[in-house]
């Protein structure tokens, strides 16, 4: 008893895993898994489930009645049933991998349907050809539905003639005693309407799915635009406050006579405020709100507090970056500017940012004394604060320097684009200063 309980618990866990596994057979019936697929694929998979359900409703009763004494050869009927089941299992496995029927699958299914019509009908005892004993006629209804669901109208009409002709030929004794009966007409009518209904259902569901996908994309774009506008509003408020505390305060003090604009200290303060206003103009012309812009503004403000004049030249900024990537790039840039202030013996530095082909590139450049990267040992600042930070988020660091030629620290990070979730970024001309 305990062994059976253990086996049943293991089987239950296996069934749950199969139902949740992406691409699993039961995953097709899981709404959460299907929601992750495009609308056209969801519609096709739904139609595929209906088609296989229809076939199961025909083949399972035939399997239950396979031992009935209504056939010339019961063993032959069993072999034909096994052939039908085997082909449908093979086709279901192919659909599980591909997501939809190929023209080759349809052709093989039509061929198998025609062969089954001839073989099963001849194997039925006289007087049972139009009863449920002749399960091949039901199987051809599934073939007609498959043709209507997968092929274009003209091709579907031409291909449907094959099983219909085979049906009439088989039930007329191989053409020896051809006679159209009401049963034949009723079956041919069923084939026609099954094909039409499945064709209409696939086209309707596919069209509705495309409309829903387009509506979802528009709604998502609207939400993203609203979020960007709101972020831009808060960013402008922060910039207005900073302007009040810097440039406006300096101008007000000069206007009231509290500061002498001719002194070196006031001129440096005015140059710093002018650089800040220039950065605001450049960022606004670059377009696209990004958290990276705010973080770099803070980093540059801190570097200017150390007496370093920073020229910030952003190109096209990304619309969105993961928070941990923004923090890593900004902190690595901060350490790069700190190294300029400590070691470069240069009062100025340049920070450039570019976003092209889903790759972010940030450079910190100075025209200081420079050094030889091959012979100069790397300190904790460059090793841990720059290289380690970038490597932790999947980025790269390159360092270029020569004695008397200055230094260039380049930080790069590439975004992995997934096809199912890929979005287009904001296009814009790259600004070069």
Q: Which of 51-60, 166-175, 285-294, 369-378 has the lowest mean pLDDT?
A: 285-294
Tell me the CA distances in angstroms from 5 to 2, 8, 9, 192, 371, one per residue in order. 5, 5, 6, 50, 72
CA distance 350 to 433: 11
3-state secondary structure of 359: strand
What value does the mean pLDDT take over residues 152-165? 86
Query: In sequence order, what are the beta bridge partners of 93?
Result: none
pLDDT over threshold 50, residue 1: no
Q: Which of 71-85, 125-139, 144-158, 161-175 has the lowest mean pLDDT?
A: 161-175
Residues 6+ apart with CB under 8 A from 343: 368, 369, 371
Residue ranges of domains in the chain: 37-217, 287-433
| Token pair for 160 | 């449907």
Predicted confidence at residue 421, as pLDDT, reads 38
DSSP state of 179: -
What value does the mean pLDDT take over residues 112-135? 84
Query: Taking the C-alpha atoms of 146, 152, 158 and 161 in order, what is their torsion angle to the nearest 10 degrees?
Result: 20
Note the pLDDT tens digit of each residue in 385-394.
Answer: 788 889 999 9
Closest CA to 351 of 310, 397, 291, 302: 310
401: left (phi over 0), alpha (psi -120 to 50) or beta: beta
406: left (phi over 0), alpha (psi -120 to 50) or beta: left
H or E stretch at 6: helix 2-20
Q: Which of 249-263, 271-285, 397-411 has the lowest mean pLDDT?
A: 271-285
CA distance 186 to 345: 95
Higher pLDDT among residues 126 and 231, named by residue: 126
What fold is seen in the domain 287-433?
Answer: Heat Shock Protein 90 (3.30.565)
Residue 173: band (very low, low, confident or very high) from pLDDT cuts 50, 70, 90: low
Predicted confidence at residue 71, as pLDDT, reads 82
Closest CA to 396 of 348, 345, 433, 361: 361
Note the pLDDT tens digit of each residue in 9-34.
Answer: 554 444 444 443 444 444 555 666 56
pLDDT over threshold 70, residue 422: no
| Token pair for 186 | 């009723």
* Cβ pair 122, 79 in contact under 8 A: no
Q: Which of 232-246, 264-278, 339-353 has the highest mean pLDDT?
A: 339-353
Predicted confidence at residue 153, as pLDDT, reads 86
| Token pair for 368 | 């200081």
Query: What pTM was computed for the model?
Result: 0.50
pLDDT over threshold 70, residue 431: no
- The β-bridge relationship of strands 406-414 and 309-314 is unpaired
DSSP state of 415: P
Note the pLDDT tens digit of each residue in 351-366.
Answer: 999 888 889 999 999 9
Q: Indicate the average pLDDT of the chain.
A: 77
What value does the mean pLDDT take over residues 68-74? 78
Note the pLDDT tens digit of each residue in 259-304.
Answer: 666 777 777 777 777 777 766 666 555 444 457 877 888 888 888 8
Note the pLDDT tens digit of each residue in 194-220.
Answer: 888 888 888 888 888 888 888 877 887
What value does the mean pLDDT take over residues 94-123? 88
* Cβ pair 103, 15 in contact under 8 A: no
Predicted confidence at residue 412, as pLDDT, reads 94
Q: Could you give the angle at the alpha carbon of 94 between the alpha carbons of 198 and 113, nearest 5°? A: 55
CA distance 103 to 189: 24
CA distance between the termini of the chain = 80
* Cβ pair 99, 76 in contact under 8 A: no
* Cβ pair 349, 365 in contact under 8 A: yes
Higher pLDDT among residues 299 and 69, named by residue: 299
Share of the chain above pLDDT 70, in %: 77
* Cβ pair 341, 308 in contact under 8 A: yes
* Cβ pair 261, 273 in contact under 8 A: no
Q: What is the CB-side half-sphere exposure of residue 202 using CA atoms within 13 A?
A: 24
CA distance 418 to 426: 17
3-state secondary structure of 410: strand
């Amino acid at each position: 008893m305990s062994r059976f309980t253990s086996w049943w618990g293991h089987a239950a866990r296996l069934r749950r895993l199969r139902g949740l596994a992406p691409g699993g057979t039961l995953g097709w019936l899981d709404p959460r898994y299907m929601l992750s697929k495009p609308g056209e694929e969801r519609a096709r998979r739904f139609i595929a489930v209906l088609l296989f359900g229809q076939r199961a409703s025909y083949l399972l009763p035939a399997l239950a009645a396979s031992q009935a004494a209504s056939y010339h050869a019961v063993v032959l009927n069993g072999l034909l049933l096994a052939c039908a089941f085997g082909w449908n299992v093979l086709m279901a496995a192919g659909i599980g991998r591909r997501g939809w029927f190929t023209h080759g699958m349809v052709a093989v299914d039509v061929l198998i349907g025609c062969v089954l019509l001839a073989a099963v009908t001849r194997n039925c005892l006289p007087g049972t050809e139009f009863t449920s004993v002749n399960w091949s006629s039901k199987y051809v209804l599934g073939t007609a539905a498959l043709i209507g669901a997968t092929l274009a109208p003209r091709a579907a009409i031409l291909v449907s003639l094959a099983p219909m002709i085979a049906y009439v030929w088989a039930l007329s004794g191989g053409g020896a005693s051809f006679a159209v009966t009401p049963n034949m007409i009723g079956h041919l009518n069923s084939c026609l309407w099954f094909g039409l209904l499945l064709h209409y259902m696939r086209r309707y569901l596919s069209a509705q799915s495309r409309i829903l996908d387009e509506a979802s994309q528009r709604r998502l774009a609207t939400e993203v635009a609203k979020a960007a506008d709101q972020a831009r509003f808060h960013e402008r408020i922060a910039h207005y406050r900073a302007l009040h505390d810097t440039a406006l305060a300096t101008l007000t003090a000069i206007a009231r006579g509290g500061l002498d604009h001719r002194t070196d200290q006031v001129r440096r303060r005015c140059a710093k405020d002018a650089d800040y206003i220039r950065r605001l103009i450049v960022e606004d012309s670059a377009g696209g709100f990004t958290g990276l812009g705010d973080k770099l503004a803070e980093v540059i403000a801190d570097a200017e507090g150390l007496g370093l004049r920073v020229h910030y030249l952003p190109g096209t900024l990304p619309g969105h970056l993961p928070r941990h990537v923004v923090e890593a790039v900004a902190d690595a840039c901060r350490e790069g500017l700190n190294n300029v202030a400590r070691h470069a013996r240069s009062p100025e530095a340049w920070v450039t940012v570019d976003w092209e082909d889903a790759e972010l590139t940030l450079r910190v450049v100075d025209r200081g004394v420079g050094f030889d990267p091959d012979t100069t040992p790397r300190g904790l600042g460059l090793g841990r604060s720059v290289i380690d930070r970038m490597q932790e988020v999947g980025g790269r660091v390159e360092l270029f320097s020569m004695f008397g030629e200055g230094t260039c620290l380049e930080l790069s990070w590439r975004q992995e684009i997934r096809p199912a979730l890929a979005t287009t970024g904001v296009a814009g001309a790259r600004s070069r200063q």
